[in-house]
Amino acid sequence: DTGVSQDPRHKITKRGQNVTFRCDPISEHNRLYWYRQTLGQGPEFLTYFQNEAQLEKSRLLSDRFSAERPKGSFSTLEIQRTEQGDSAMYLCASSLKGDTQYFGPGTRLTVL
């Protein structure tokens, strides 16, 4: 069990560019979650998957955000036309069914 991994760990981009983050959950975990955390705040839920199905999306997830989990394994989170307000830490977590969520190290996004 290698834990949840995320790539890249840091991303600096210019406003208006598209970025994509990847999350690899703990093997055999069927649920995968994305959260966003801004400095000094607790995380905010974005979306979650059960296997390959995206079951819930937060109102925070605007049309510029899209997430996928093909084949129920790794997941990607894409942000199109990035804005400075998108600067945050993007956290991925996974769980077995509805059990405890285990987190990855996060991807820190800076939009210039």
Q: Catalog residues that contact another protein under the rule CB under 8 A.
A: 31, 33, 35, 40-45, 48, 55-56, 58, 91, 93, 95, 98, 100-106
Name the minimum Å distance from CB 91 to another protein. Answer: 7
- Secondary structure letter of residue 70 according to DSSP: G
Torsion angle of C-alpha atoms 6, 12, 14, 15, degrees rounded to 10: 60
Name the minimum Å distance from CB 48 to another protein. Answer: 6
- Closest CB to another protein among 56 and 68? 56
- Closest CB to another protein among 9 and 81? 9
Question: How many angstroms separate the CA atoms of 87 and 48, rounded?
Answer: 21
- Closest CB to another protein among 80 and 105? 105
